[in-house]
Chains A and B, each alone.
Chain A
Amino acid sequence: MIKITIWKWLLAIIVILAVFLYVPTFIAGPDGLEAVFETYGFTPPNPIWNGLLPDYTIPWIMDAWVTSLLSGILGTLIVFAIAYAFGKVIIAKTPHKK
């Protein structure tokens, strides 16, 4: 039987986010695909959907650290909740449930 303390680990994730997002190099810079686009002067068309928290920021919070940290915490909690809920749904439909 695997035992884990959810809140302890979620807190650890948030602390890691807070520490690393404070260092600008961990949020800046194009990724590999964007670097390829930049090298060849290719600009993707404007997106049809800009998201609720575009580019991992909360639009009305300007401070770079606070805005990415809060959107990161929000995202982490959303992902946790969706993954957990989805898991519950598929377990509920399993024919093998004991």
Chain B
Amino acid sequence: MHIPDGVIDLWMLISIWVIVIIAWAFAVVKSRKTLGENESKLPLLALMTAMVFAIQMLNFPIVGGTSGHLLGFVLIAIILSPAQAILSISTVLIIQALVFADGGLIALSANVFNMAIVTLVGYFIYYALRKLKDDTKGLYISTFVGAYVSVLLASLVCGVELGVSSLFPWGIEVSVPAMLFWHAFIALGEAAITTAIIIYLQKNRSDLIPKTNELKLWW
């Protein structure tokens, strides 16, 4: 879902940059408090970020020769916090754009917005569901649903951006259903991989997964 340059209008990308910079400032303020109080969490943040980068390189095939890969926002938000997930996924996207030319440089704002800010909604759904069902099964279900919604919503917003942009010749009546169609499948992969990792951690390193009473709404 990495948007290249020259696809979204400049005025849109600049407006989105404003939102992204505010979100980054917010995430830095929240994360530095958490990390400052517990520095032992920093290696985990760096490791999780590196792991998401590596897993994003692995494309799983879906229908019609198309492929998808993990996004990882909800995974990091669950284990660390939503604010740290914003910084972590943004780091991955910045390196991908700068080093690997995966996603445009000016379009980085849209990519960060779609994959590291809109995806917050997926985490909030996880948060709400987990509060409702406070057991291991609840953990797995809320992870699956939250991860699924995060990717679908990111693709919806990406579709709206494409449809509104004058550089993409088709409107949102075309771009939104097309994006949702493919990402309905890709989101299943996201949900499956995220849940599999959470199941593994719950069985082997349950100390890494916050209990229901320790759930973080932001930081």
Residues of A within 8 A of B (CB): 1-4, 6, 9-10, 13-14, 16-17, 20-21, 25-36, 39-40, 42, 44-45, 47-56, 68, 71-72, 75-84, 86-88, 90-91, 93-94, 96-98
Contact = CB atoms under 8 A, between A and B. Distances in A.
A68 B59 CA distance: 13
B58 A26 contact: yes
A56 B100 CA distance: 6
B51 interface: yes
B42 interface: yes
A68 B102 CA distance: 14
Name A's interface SS.
Answer: helix
B179 to A, nearest CB: 6
Contact count band on B: 35 or more
Given A36-B179, A42-B169, A87-B46, 6 more contacts: A4-B44, A16-B55, A53-B100, A72-B57, A76-B51, A80-B50
A23 to B, nearest CB: 9
B186 interface: yes
Contacts of B37: 96, 98
A75 B44 contact: no
Interface in B11-66: 28, 31-33, 35-47, 49-51, 53-55, 57-61, 64-66
Contact of A91 (B36, B50, B97): B36
Interface stretch (B85-93, B123-131, B133-141, B142-150): B85-93
A90 B100 contact: no
Interface of B: 1-7, 28, 31-33, 35-47, 49-51, 53-55, 57-61, 64-69, 87-88, 91-92, 95-102, 104-105, 155, 158, 162, 168-170, 174-175, 178-179, 182-183, 186, 207-208
Contacts of A42: 168-170
Residue in A25, A34, A75, A96 whose Cβ sees the most chain B Cβ within 10 Å: A75
15 contacts: A1-B40, A4-B44, A16-B55, A25-B67, A27-B59, A29-B66, A32-B66, A39-B178, A40-B178, A51-B99, A75-B54, A83-B46, A90-B35, A90-B36, A97-B36
B57 A68 contact: yes
Contacts of B102: 51, 55-56
B59 to A, nearest CB: 6
A94 B219 CA distance: 15
A87 B45 contact: yes
Nearest to A73: B54
